[in-house]
Amino acid sequence: MKLFKKMIIAFLAVTICSIFVSAAVPELVAETAVLIDAETGQVLCDKEMHKQMHPASITKVITVITALENLELSDTITMSRKAVSLEQGSSHIALDEGEEITVEQAIYAAFLKSANDACNGLAEAAAGSIEDFTALMNETAKRAGALNSNFINAHGYHAEEHLTTAYDMAMICRYALQNEDFARMFGEKTYTMPPNNKKDESRYFINQHWMINGDYEYDGVIGGKPGYTTPSRNTLITVAERDGRRLIAVVLKCPKGTQYEDTEALFDYGFDELQSITLTSEDLSRKYGYTLDEEVAFLAEKGIGKENLVFEFSEVDGNSICHISSPDGRELTEFSCKKIPEPEPEERKNSDKEKKNEEDDGISFWGVLLWIVLIGVLGFGLFVLWIYLRKRFGYHRKRRNYRGR
């Protein structure tokens, strides 16, 4: 019997715990990586996301958004000698000194052909010099929410001090996607650059991101930029959207080809394993004594309900912050809230009275229900006893009558 009880307890424990077992977080080859919700900035999955790395050509994401904030698409760029003088091995579209192109053409060259000469042209047009433009890039990065980035050139060619993180690049991309021109050009598959004052023929560009040009099929990809240098190896930033959920994945320092496998694994997790949870002011006020100015939505693994979430509250510079974690302790999100002030003595007295009345009502209801159940059980027991006694004594009476005959 004891063994049987132990088996039952063990079964129940395993069953209950299994409810809170996390979905399989993808195992990644990339040295660092992150997946975020583009709408809220919530980190959904990461691998050393704050470690500083060399980004290679995904640098061009911040180059383009910085240029767009300081130039018009129709503005003309006249290429300087310095802009077209590139480091050995740089990617380019063979722009010449004195060649005139538009900002829009330079951006397509940067995104689809990873053209370093076009990026230098954008930098000089926007800030007067490449050095001044990198200062603008770093200011843009801070506005976007970057924490550990230092950009010293406009294209991502390897430099020891040119550093960022997976998290910073994801936040920069999230910021950039709010610009309609950026979002439109970031996902273009092809582009034709027309002839100009120096070139008699058109140039044809095809996006080098495999998930955009079709070399690696994945449903929902709407933008991205690959990068590569020997020290940084393969880097990749990708945006995908399904059923209104937009995600940004960044993977850094990947062996060839694995950057797409890692990105697919991150997106599969984000789209297939997560659900949206919405918290209202009522959810916080009833149990924790806090309120919200508006509803808060975030993503959590499927199977987790509001009742399973772990809430913690802190005060930062006089502001209340709500921290939410999953049952296994992983932080999901945090947001501002307001602590409900303690009621005045009279209000507290009335509140306590109302609370007591509610408790009394609840007790009286459950008390009545309990009495009904007890009376029912007692009545049923008496009925069964009556049947039993009737059969028993009726049987003995019949036997006595039979013997008397």
Q: Domain limits of the chain?
A: 32-272, 275-339
Residue-level pLDDT at 342 = 73
The domain covering 32-272 belongs, at the CATH homologous superfamily level, to: DD-peptidase/beta-lactamase superfamily (3.40.710.10)
Copy the structure tokens of residue 95: 């722009």
- Encoded tokens for 190: 């092809």
pTM of the model: 0.80
Per-residue pLDDT of the chain (405 residues; tens, 9 = 90+): 444 444 433 433 334 344 444 456 799 999 999 999 999 999 999 999 999 999 999 999 999 999 999 999 999 999 999 999 999 889 999 999 999 999 999 999 999 999 999 999 999 999 999 999 999 999 999 999 999 999 999 999 999 999 999 999 999 999 999 999 999 999 999 999 999 999 999 999 999 999 999 999 999 999 999 999 999 999 999 999 999 999 999 999 999 989 999 999 999 999 999 999 999 988 888 888 888 888 899 999 998 988 889 989 898 888 889 999 988 888 899 888 888 887 666 555 555 555 555 555 555 565 666 667 778 777 777 777 777 777 666 655 555 554 444
Query: What tokens appear for 165 in the block?
Result: 């993180």
Give which of 282, 328, 283, 280 is closest to 303, Cα–Cα.
328
Structure confidence at residue 24 (pLDDT): 65
Instruction: For 225-244, give one letter per residue: b (16+ CB within 10 A) or e.
Output: bbbbbeebbbbbbbbbeeee
CA angle 365, 368, 369 (to 5 degrees): 85
Q: Measure the CA–CA gap between 84 and 100, rounded to whole angstroms.
A: 12
Determine contact, residues 100/80, Cβ cutoff 8 Å.
Answer: no
pLDDT score for 390: 72
* 3-state DSSP assignment of residue 146: coil
Q: What is the pLDDT, as a whole number, of residue 25?
A: 76
Contact 78, 59 (CB under 8 A): no
